Structure 1
Amino acid sequence: MPAPFLRIVKQSGLYALGNVSVKAAGLLLAPVFLNPAYLSIEAYGYFALLNVTGQLGIFVVGLGLGTGLLRFMTSEAHAEVRDVLPFTALATTVAAAVLGGGLLWVLAPALAGLLLDDPGQARLVHYLALYVAFKVVGGVPMVLLRIRERAGWYATAVAVEMALLLAAVYGFVVVRGEGLEGVMQAYAVAAGGSMLVLTGVMLRRIRWCFRTAMVRPLIRFGVPLVLAGLAGWFLNAGDRYLLKWLADPETTGLYDWSARLAGVINLLFVQSFQLAFNVIGLKALAEGDLSVHRRTFRHYVVWTGWAVLGLSLLTLDGMLLLVSRFDVAAFYVQAEALVLPLALGFLSYGVYLIANSVLYATGETGLISLNVAGAALLNAGLNLALIPFFGALGAALTTFVSYTVLAVGVARQAERRRRVGYPWRVFVLTLVLVVGLFALGRLTAAWSPGVRLAVRVGLILAYVPLLQVTNLYRREELRAGLRWVKERLR
């Protein structure tokens, strides 16, 4: 394999290890979040709304400074200021975090009324303000680890934060019985502890020099991406607001939990892949190597599709294992119908990221913002049309359609700038395989657990030989890939 592609695979794997800790934490927290003794279905719905508001706050308050740092640190045109960029970005981000967090703190009663139907719950928004500020500042050293391709350290930092979160949730919620307030305290404590450690380590390894002249370029590059971030946030999470408006907090909670399950794909395959590909893909484009993008598209789609199929077919039995002893089990088991479209949406989002790197390389952040804003408008319109009739399923289908339209549109724009030659046949055939095998698996829903699980595992395994039948992979490629995996395992 070419060296850049090998680096993408290796670093994606390391980033995925960090994201495994995120999902492991979510699995360990499921007995708390889904147990009505600690959080009611309604309280979990309110937590979902606070959580997406926190992601919104991180996008806005961060001003896109982390992305600007990534762009300038990987550009040869700014080689002479690389040593002062990290401290400049960090100091500017701290100032933004103080201002943004302070504003959230002041607006807490109003936000509590909108999100929690009770202005008296302002203290929950206060914890949210702290969480946002801590995550914004801690994001700068995390970006620096990516730039320096320290994927192992990045994964370790994520794992440590998740360990802090687990300990805090169990302490505040299980031991002290503080419910939703305890959950928000735990998130703030975990983010704060992670920020202090990461920032302290970063300050020991960079030059302490603030270059005022670089603040404006960083903001000028990053702020247009805030719009893209806002629209991207809405694509990924804004439907929770619409569900609360058009349905109720309980439906919002069900959708959010389904999205967390589908988020396994996002964390293990999309985000870990993005963290590696953003850097390596930009470097490959700078060297004029387009084959990295073409090959990455094919391999990413095929193997992420397999993961989507596996997750979707195992969701029912996994949920029964998690919640069968709770009196709300029948409610949360409905997540099975939502996971497939949500997971396919994440697959399409990864395709968008591959194509979008071309626009990053050409510095067209304004066009990037317009693309994502257009997809967000489509998402909003489809949600308004489908949620009243299909509820949470309508929101899930909308997510898949919106991400797919975004991916196809951006890929066409990228092709006009660089003739990559994205293999769309692979994308279409993979969707057909995944949806077809899942539909067969759904026929077993009422079967006994042992037989159902055996049949569904068989369908998951059938995906690999079907790759050869559909000519997505040749026999020699599958064998070569298996040999490569065995070598790496040794």
Structure 2
Amino acid sequence: MKSQIKQLGRHSLIFGFGDSLKGMIGFMLLPVYTRFLTPADYGQLELLRTTISVLLVIAAQGIGSAFFRSYVFIEKELNASANDLISTSYLYILLSAFAVSASLYLFSGEYNAFIFGSGTSEILVKITAVSLCFEIIMLVPYQVFRAKMESVKFITLSLVHFFLQLALNIYFVTVLRMGVKGILMGNAISSSVMVVATFLMIKKHLVLKISGGVLKDLLAFGFPLIFSSLFYWMLQMSDRFLLQKFSSTHELGLYSLGTRFASVLPMLIVFPFQKVWGAMSFQVAARDDARETFRIITTYFYLLLCFTGAGLIIWSPPVIKIIAGREFWDTHKVIFPLVCANVGSGMLLISGFGIYMLKKTKYISLFVGLSAAANIALNLTLIPVYGMMGAAYVSFASNLLLNFLCYRLSQKVYFIPFDMPRLLKISLIFLAVSVSSTLLHPSNVMADVLYRLFLTALFFGGLIISGFFEYTEIRSMKNAYGRLLEQPGFSNKFKYAYELIIGQT
């Protein structure tokens, strides 16, 4: 059991790093964006990004998810080769990318008028269409690298893409002062370079042929996933369009910055965990002590989510004041409910495990659809009255509903004895320190920093006072801390701490 948990942590760090770079760039550029863009500009940028995300789901048609299954069973089930799969997937996605992006490009004027009205340049939508095309084409090569476990290629390309996009965005925004147009151009240019690079790396696997049997297998598995993906998109991102329609682009900009801060939680914790949880969870389920292992993993995963989330809530107000202009400072108001929503979204990986274990996945689309419908209905009611605060709390409520629905069914088909008393202690401590940080904002800088340090320490203090840690856990932590102090020099201490975290000690 212990080795399974260690392996999960180790692979989460390794495979999650490359994927996290894409999310990191948006966060790292916040000081640039918030100094050279207005909240309305930032809201406009967010809507165009959201456009890419939904059209990417439609264009991909579930091919990305279907690719892994087909890669494993391609020879046994279809009597075809891996090269047939790669060629068919790549060529089909290429055609899909051209079709979807060309549609957006040709109808850019109509889309611009529908979303923004007459105040926005049509050229931004056209650049978005070009960038979308490149984003779609890159899908299959990256799946090839994952399937073949070519992590060096994957990480190298991710780093090159990261730094190229970073440099272009900074140049276009700060030097040329091109605003949103510069950001979109930087993204499109960097993605075009990566399309060429990834093509050169996989061209040895490509033939100019689409296998009908392979394509049918891919779409049979992947196409139904479009609906659940679209429902999930509606649940998580439709509020951007509703804020634009029923509030203002200014509030959308503040809300979008808030979602960017809150996204640090899934970027650091959820996405790396998710990359290996799918395969690892089924391996754990085959063990005799599976349910006990799931119980422990759940407790500490939730603890990690809540501690990281509390840190974001506590420290986001001063960070926003440091990196952003005064007109963005009200962003901190939406951080608390948005972080809570991301905690709930992260817990879905475990609370719904039984549904996947017993192949009841048809209910996932139903539950996500119900939650998305509730999300839209509540947003239509609350956004016109409460603006971005209404959208933020609706996001939390709808994610909570989805968790509840998945948890109830999952426990019926595959019961896991979750440690409810410990989970409740974590929840109460999280709420106590998070709410306290939103109620009091000392005007003195030093007092404010000390207050937030106190709240951060109070999280751990609350765990100790409440008796959260078991005796064996306390003993293990003391032993680990003692061995850490014994390491000579800072570099050795850091190496030991790193190995301890990824489970190699």
The two structures share one fold, judged by TM-score above 0.5: yes
CA drift of 1:238 comes to 1.1
Contact 2:48–2:128 (CA under 8 A) maintained in structure 1: yes
- Aligned counterpart, 2:502: none
Q: 1:51 aligns with which of 49, 57, 62?
A: 49
**CA positional deviation for 1:12:** 1.6
Partners of 1:211 and 1:3 in 2: how far apart? 42
For residues 25-70 of structure 1, give each alpha carbon's deviation from its aligned partner in whole angstroms, at most 9, with x where no partner exists. Answer: 33442233112xx323222211111111111111111101111123
Give yes or no for the alignment of 1:92 onto 2:92: yes
Q: Distance in 1 between matches of 2:412 and 2:357?
A: 14
How far apart, in 1, do the equivalents of 2:478 and 2:139 lie?
36
Q: Which residue of 2 aligns with 1:296?
A: 297
- Count residues in correspondence: 483
1:350 Cα offset (Å): 1.3
Q: Which amino acid aligns with 1:234?
A: M
Conserved? CA contact 1:48–1:256, under 8 Å: yes
1:109 alignment partner, SS class:
helix
Q: 1:86 to 1:475 in 2, by over 3 A?
A: farther
Q: Distance in 2 between matches of 1:362 and 1:75?
A: 21
Structure 1 residues 410-449: Cα deviation after superposition (integer angstroms, max 9, x where no partner) = 1222233323334455444322211111222234413311
Partner of residue 201, structure 1: 201
Is it true that 1:122 corresponds to 2:122 in the alignment?
A: yes
Distance in structure 2 (CA, Å) of the matches to 1:152 and 1:482: 36
Inter-partner Cα distance in structure 2 for 1:134 and 1:339: 32
Residue matched to 1:452: 448
Relative to structure 1, the CA distance from residue 382 to residue 401 in structure 2 (aligned partners, 3 Å threshold; closer, same or farther) is: same
Measured in 2, the distance between the counterparts of 1:417 and 1:202 equals: 42
Shift of 1:311: 0.9
Q: Which runs of 4+ in 1 moved over 6 A?
A: 205-209
**Quick check: 422-431 or 343-352, which moved more?**
422-431
Alpha carbons of structure 1 residues 213 and 461: separation in structure 2 relative to 1, 3 Å? same
- 1:378 corresponding residue in structure 2: 374
Displacement of 1:74 in angstroms is: 5.4
| Contact kept in structure 2, 1:285 and 1:358, CA below 8 Å | no
Determine whether 1:41 maps to 2:39: yes
Give deviations 1:357-379, integer Å, cap 9, x for gaps. 54445555432222211111111
Partner of 2:307: 306
Describe the superposition over 1:371-424 as per-residue Cα deviations: whole angstroms up to 9, x where unpaired. 211111111122122223322111111111111211221122223332333445
Structure 2 residue aligned with 1:70: 68
Distance 1:269 1:107 in 2: 39
Q: Secondary structure at the match of 2:263?
A: helix
Within the candidate set 336, 351, 362, 1:340 is matched to 336
Give the RMSD, CA atoms, in angstroms.
Answer: 2.9
Q: CA deviation at 1:318?
A: 0.4
Report deviation, 1:113.
Answer: 0.9
* Distance (Å, rounded) in 2 between the aligned partners of 1:424 and 1:209: 55
Structure 2 counterpart of 1:447, one-letter code: S
TM-score, length-scaled by structure 2: 0.87
* Counterpart residue number, 1:252: 252
Q: 44-53 or 278-287, which moves further after superposition? A: 278-287
Any conservation in 1 of the 2:64–2:140 contact (CA below 8 Å)? Answer: yes
Equivalent position SS for 1:34: helix
Q: Given residue 165 of structure 1, which amino acid in structure 2 is its aligned partner?
A: Q
The letter of the residue matching 2:308 is A
> Is the contact between residue 127 and residue 184 of structure 2 (CA under 8 Å) also seen in structure 1?
yes
Q: What are the within-5 Å matches in structure 2 for residues 98-177 of structure 1?
A: 98-118=98-118, 121-148=121-148, 154-177=154-177
Relative to 1, partners in 2 of residues 1:483 and 1:155: Cα closer, same or farther, differing over 3 Å?
A: farther
Matches of 1:9 and 1:251 in 2, distance apart? 38
- How far apart are residue 89 of structure 1 and its match? 2.4
Residues 392/201 of structure 1: CA separation in 2 closer, same or farther (3 Å cut):
same
* Aligned AA (2:313): S
- Which sits farther off after the overlay, 85-94 or 227-236? 85-94
Q: Give how far 1:73 is off.
A: 3.9
Write the distance in 1 (CA, Å) between the matches of 2:375 and 2:65.
Answer: 25
- The match for 2:221 is 221
- Using the TM superposition, give the Cα deviation of residue 254 of structure 1 relative to its aligned residue in structure 2, in angstroms: 0.4
The aligned residue for residue 490 of structure 2 is: none
Match of 1:246, as an amino acid?
F
* Most deviating of 39-48 and 291-300: 291-300
Q: Which amino acid aligns with 2:54?
A: L
Question: Once structures 1 and 2 are overlaid, which stretch shifts more, 253-262 or 88-97?
Answer: 88-97
Q: 1:209 to 1:296 in 2, by over 3 A?
A: farther
- The structure with the largest alpha-carbon Rg is 2
Deviation at 1:91, TM superposition (A): 2.5
The aligned runs of 1:354-369 (5 Å cut-off) are: 354-369=350-365
Partners of 1:399 and 1:72 lie apart in 2 by 35
Q: 1:439 to 1:187 in 2, by over 3 A?
A: same
Could you tell me whether the CA contact under 8 Å between 1:242 and 1:383 is conserved in 2? yes
Q: What does the per-residue CA deviation read over 1:298-336, in whole Å, with 9 as the maximum and x for residues that have no partner?
A: 22111111000011100011011112xx4xx1x311122
Q: Match for 1:429 among 404, 419, 425?
A: 425
Q: In 2, Cα distance between the equivalents of 1:130 and 1:286?
A: 46
Between 161-170 and 475-484, report the one with greater CA deviation: 475-484
Residue type at the aligned position of 2:183: V
Q: Does the 8 Å contact 1:138/1:198 carry over to 2? A: yes
Residue type at the aligned position of 2:140: V
Where does residue 319 of structure 1 map in the other structure? Answer: 320
Deviation at 1:264, TM superposition (A): 0.3
2:492 is matched with which residue? none
Residues 170/22 of structure 1: CA separation in 2 closer, same or farther (3 Å cut): same
Is the 2:375–2:394 contact (alpha carbons within 8 Å) kept by the matching residues of 1?
A: yes
In structure 2, the CA distance between the partners of 1:465 and 1:155, relative to structure 1 (3 Å rule), is farther
Q: How far apart are residue 353 of structure 1 and its match?
A: 2.3
- Measured in 1, the distance between the counterparts of 2:308 and 2:188 equals 32
Task: Give the structure-1-normalised TM-score.
Answer: 0.89
- Is the CA contact 2:108–2:125 (under 8 Å) kept in the aligned structure 1? yes
Once structures 1 and 2 are overlaid, which stretch shifts more, 257-266 or 468-477?
468-477
User: Conserved in 2, the CA contact under 8 Å of 1:16 and 1:155?
Assistant: no
CA contact (8 A) 2:425 2:463 kept: no
Aligned residue number for residue 348 of structure 2: 352
What displacement does 1:285 show?
4.5
How far the C-alpha of 1:148 sits from its partner, in A, is: 4.6
How far apart are residue 19 of structure 1 and its match? 5.5
Match of 1:347, SS state, is: helix
